[in-house]
Structure 1
Amino acid sequence: MKAIDLTRTFSASMPVFPGDRPTVLRKTEGGEADVVCYHLDTGMHVGTHIDAPLHMIPDGKKLSDIPIERFFARGHLIDARGKKEIDAVLLEGKDIQKGDCVLVYTGFDEKFAEPDFYTDYPVVTEEFAKRLVDLGVSFIGLDTPSPDTTPYAVHKILLSSDILIIEGLCNCKELTSVSSFEVIALPPKFEAEAGPVRVVARVG
């Protein structure tokens, strides 16, 4: 069995959405000399993270409401490199079953540290999102900061149908030569609309 880590390292230097507060991850002062403790102050939508329905749907589910089984799924890679719009045609020929997950690989993760990472990313079309609803997938993951832009129609289509959204993936290129894989995406059990998530593809 091989494990491919699709998760960004969580650090205080991570870029955030324009207007969001910077992440604070610092070593606390005081205490016993040989004891190390860190303090974290962060928004939920930084680095590799997962959106639950509450993020866009009033009275939607929090992360803590999602059954643990939902975070394990057979994966399908959608190679969308070079595309500004990710359309439903890319799903054709894929044997996607109910409960599976779809990972969208654009290569945009390579721009993570650049100023336009949060402003000029590829987006998913509403038709693509509606097709995922029809297929009954468990979640979608992308190597971009979001599947769409304001007014976030794609977010609302997916989350209103209980499809979770993982944003900020990396290393998806390592899956381009893989025929089959399972995705494990485990977030903390936060009573919140989103949270950081460790995403791993298990191959073989």
Structure 2
Amino acid sequence: MNRIYDVTLPLHNALPVWPGDPISEISRAASIEAGEKINLSRINASLHWGTHIDAPYHLNAEGWTIDQIPVEILIGAAKVVEIPGTAKITADHLRGKNLKGVERVLFKTRNSQFWNEELLHFHRDFTAFSTDAAHFLLENGCRLIGIDYLSIDLFEAEDLPVHKILYARNVVAIEGLDLRKVPAGDYQLLCLPLKIPGGDGAPAKVLLHTVT
């Protein structure tokens, strides 16, 4: 049976943000309960809050901004690959995963547990990629990469080498995916970011549809 997975994190004020990023919050601007005519909320947030797309422009001044990313990259066949039990995904983890020519690859890791309510705070020990994994993905034709936490680089990687390697080639990254309920396998990806002219990123609604 066909199934659609919503792999978008719900935005709320307890959702972790990257250390040093602006505090992101949703607040009430008007309330019927308070005697006003309408309910109206406001959002004050980084463009990298929750499930979001990093535009290559985030680290590459010559890279695509969010509104320049071709929609064809954000919609189409995708593979969810599960890499459990490691803090760093290397090229050795990717060999044998049949990624040759796969343009959209989403990675389910031990990070997924961090979205459980009892663990909902920022974790510095999240799983991310090594530089040789980034080169491996490029060599195999990857155009979009996704991860189930807030960065494709390890927390201690201050120079963000994985970002730089991929964004120099206009590879797009989806960060903050919720893949807890998604089995590894082949899917159709639908990723719809807010269209922000000149944006270095944007919150996105991300869906995966099973392939039969």
User: Pick from 121, 136, 144: which aligns with 2:141?
Assistant: 136
User: Pick from 191, 200, 209: which aligns with 1:202?
Assistant: 209
Q: How does 1:1-204 map to 2 (within 5 A)?
A: 1-29=2-30, 33-98=36-101, 100-112=103-115, 113-117=119-123, 119-148=124-153, 149-176=157-184, 179-191=185-197, 192-204=199-211
Structure 1 letter corresponding to 2:188: E
Aligned length: 201
Partner-residue secondary structure (3-state), 2:186: coil
Structure 2 letter corresponding to 1:95: N
Structure 2 letter corresponding to 1:62: T
Structure 2 letter corresponding to 1:202: H
Structure 2 letter corresponding to 1:65: Q
RMSD: 2.0
Partner-residue secondary structure (3-state), 1:197: strand
Structure 2 letter corresponding to 1:147: I
- What's the CA shift for 1:137? 1.6
- What's the CA shift for 1:116? 4.7
Q: Structure 2: any 5+ residue segments left out of the alignment? A: none
TM-score (norm 2): 0.86
* CA 1:136–1:84: 2 relative to 1, 3 Å: same
Q: Deviations over 1:25-81 (max 9, x none)?
A: 112127984422211110012211110111000132100011111101322222211
- Please give the alpha-carbon distance, in whole angstroms, between the structure 2 residues aligned to 1:79 and 1:124: 13
- Please give the alpha-carbon distance, in whole angstroms, between the structure 2 residues aligned to 1:109 and 1:162: 26
- What's the CA shift for 1:2? 1.1
Structure 2 letter corresponding to 1:182: Q
Determine if contact 2:79/2:102 at 8 Å carries over to the other structure. Answer: no
- Please give the alpha-carbon distance, in whole angstroms, between the structure 1 residues aligned to 2:78 and 2:134: 16
Q: Deviations over 1:152-187 (max 9, x none)?
A: 0000011111111111111244223xx421111110
